[in-house]
Chains A and B, each alone.
Chain A
Amino acid sequence: MRSLTVLYDSDCELCRRIRAWLEGQPAYVNLLFVPAGSDEARRRFPELDHAATLAELTIIGDNGAVYRNGKAFLICLWALRDYREWSLALASPELWPIARRFLVWMSNRRFQIGEITPVHSTGQD
């Protein structure tokens, strides 16, 4: 796999900040960011259920593999040079059920978390 397309929620402050962080990290796999539900996303992935991508984070590999929700977050870590070992550890049978629940919980509350955490101006907006 050479690249991954991340369908992120562009209406969510936390998601935009995570995107900015991800873009600054050295990666093994090229990460492309496309707003979920956008025309661009529909054009690139005509067979995908785009209503579902607005509800949960979806990542598609250049081989067509679709990763959703908790797995999608894990795949983001796997793509990064400094965090691939973390992704392997989190995917172990002991940790994965807990890690997945936490990631899904965080994802479902992304708007609240974005509101309560302080905003660091990245100077990009």
Chain B
Amino acid sequence: MNENITFTVSTYLVYLIISIALTVWVARTLYRNGHVFLVDVFHGNETLANSVNHLLVVGFYLINLGYVSLALKLSSNVDDARQSIEALSGKVGGVLVVLGMMHFFNLYVFSRIRRRATLSSIAPPVPADACTVAQKV
């Protein structure tokens, strides 16, 4: 009985370590690479870029750690190493999929911000028919 509890608790601990490490790694990747991108979008305004980047990463951490926390509980006891690895694999797989979806969602948000920013400087999509003299009014 004692051994069962040890297996379950150690599965939880390993799950938490792997999940939190993965979340931190993805968030840091996002933060580092998102920075360059946002500075360009905000025309070199570092302060604004840092602020938006920080807010995005905070949201990212909250959602992912929230999911990691919610998904922690195992429905049955873990009796041996094999069950432990299987349970761990399922849980970590879930976390990876959620992290992946969040990551792509963030990329989508970045590309939307960029698109909005570049839209204002796009030239007319069709060439002019002619040219005329316009008098100053």
21 A-B contact pairs sorted by A residue (CB < 8 Å): A5-B134, A28-B120, A44-B135, A45-B133, A46-B135, A47-B133, A64-B134, A65-B128, A65-B131, A66-B130, A66-B131, A67-B124, A67-B129, A68-B129, A68-B130, A71-B129, A74-B125, A75-B124, A88-B125, A91-B125, A91-B126
Q: Is A85 an interface residue (CB 8 A)?
A: yes
Question: Of A46, A74, A84, which one neighbours B122 at CB under 8 angstroms?
Answer: A84
Instruction: Give the residue among B119, B132, B135 with the most A Cβ atoms within 10 A.
Output: B132
Residues in A22-79 with C-beta less than 8 Å from chain B: 28, 43-48, 60-68, 71, 74-75, 78
Which chain A residues border B70 with CB–CB below 8 Å?
none
Ranked nearest first, the 4 interchain pairs of A and B with the lowest CB-CB distance are A91-B125, A65-B128, A66-B130, A68-B129
Q: Is B137 an interface residue (CB 8 A)?
A: yes
Q: Is A10 an interface residue (CB 8 A)?
A: no
Residue of B nearest to A65 (CB): B128
Chain B interface mostly helix, strand, loop or mixed? loop
Which A residues fall within an 8 A CB radius of B? Answer: 1, 5, 28, 43-48, 60-68, 71, 74-75, 78, 84-85, 87-88, 90-91, 96
Are B132's CB and A64's CB within 8 A?
A: yes
Q: Please, how many angstroms separate the alpha-carbon atoms of A75 and B125 in the complex? A: 8
Cβ proximity bits B105-132 to A, threshold 8 Å, 1 near / 0 not:
0000000000000011010111011111
Residues in B49-72 with C-beta less than 8 Å from chain A: none
